């Protein structure tokens, strides 16, 4: 999947499920959210066998954009890209990772927290800027404040996102949400509860779409 397509998919769907489990469970989780209409997953790069998971999902599910999350350095980023990662994201801001992604023509959204970090990430060439951990530092009110002062920067809210606040984060100005266990519960994975995961996916998608529909044109 080419860079403009990945970027457009993130903007359109607005939900990025985070997967940090073994290959078998990752395949199950990815297929479940994909069937529910979320054609994106983020595989945690620090999880055991992450590059194998990225490679497998990329090759086995053709309409799925598989990215790498918690990418901490350029070496890890290179391994993830070799495995087929369609995007790179990190918990904090490392400008060299942004530069590496640009050199390799891949979507990148580094983590940032302060206004200075957000602006620095955007100036470095990030496609989006991920506000992490978001809920812990003011939640949707913090997103609203950042969006008001830097409306040109597309923000992804991550950290503490759940069904109850997803609508508010999008309404506050987030272009997308990174969601882990609130969308793919560990119990649902272990018990192979595909319908439960799909129902959660539908609820998150509904929250995003409702919030977007109520925004002024």
Q: Which of 2, 12, 123, 130 is catalytic?
A: 130
| CB contact set of 173 (below 8 Å; sequence gap of 6+) | 143, 144, 146, 147, 148, 151, 155
**Angle between the N-to-C axes of helices 115-124 and 95-103, in degrees from 0 to 180, rounded to the nearest 10:** 20
Active site residue 194: no
Q: Strand order of the sheet with strand 40-44?
A: 107-109, 87-89, 65-69, 40-44, 15-19, 176-179, 155-158, 129-131, 111-112
Q: Which of 3, 11, 42, 186 is catalytic?
A: 42
Active site residue 130: yes
Whether residue 51 is preceded by a cis peptide bond, meaning omega within 30 degrees of 0, is no
- The whole-angstrom separation of Cα 183 and Cα 118 is 26
What residues are annotated to the active site?
42, 130
């Amino acid at each position: 999947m080419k860079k403009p397509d990945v970027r457009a998919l993130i903007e359109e769907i607005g939900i990025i499920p985070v997967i940090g489990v073994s290959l078998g469970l990752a395949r199950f989780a990815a297929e479940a959210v994909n069937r529910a209409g979320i054609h994106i997953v983020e595989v945690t790069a620090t999880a055991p066998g992450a590059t194998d998971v990225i490679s497998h999902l990329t090759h086995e599910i053709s309409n799925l954009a598989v990215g790498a999350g918690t990418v901490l350095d350029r070496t890890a980023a290179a391994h993830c890209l070799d495995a087929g990662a369609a995007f790179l994201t990190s918990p904090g801001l490392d400008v060299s990772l942004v530069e590496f992604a640009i050199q390799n023509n891949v979507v990148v959204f580094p983590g940032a927290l302060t206004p200075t970090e957000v602006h620095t990430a955007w100036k470095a060439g990030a496609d989006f800027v991920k506000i992490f951990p978001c809920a812990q530092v003011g939640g949707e009110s913090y997103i609203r404040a950042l969006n008001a002062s830097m409306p040109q920067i597309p923000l992804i809210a991550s950290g503490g996102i759940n069904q109850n606040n997803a609508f508010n984060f999008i309404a506050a100005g987030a272009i997308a949400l990174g969601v882990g266990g609130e969308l793919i519960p560990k119990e649902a994975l272990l018990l192979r509860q595909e319908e439960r995961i799909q129902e959660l996916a539908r609820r998150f998608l509904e929250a995003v779409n409702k919030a977007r529909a109520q925004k002024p044109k």
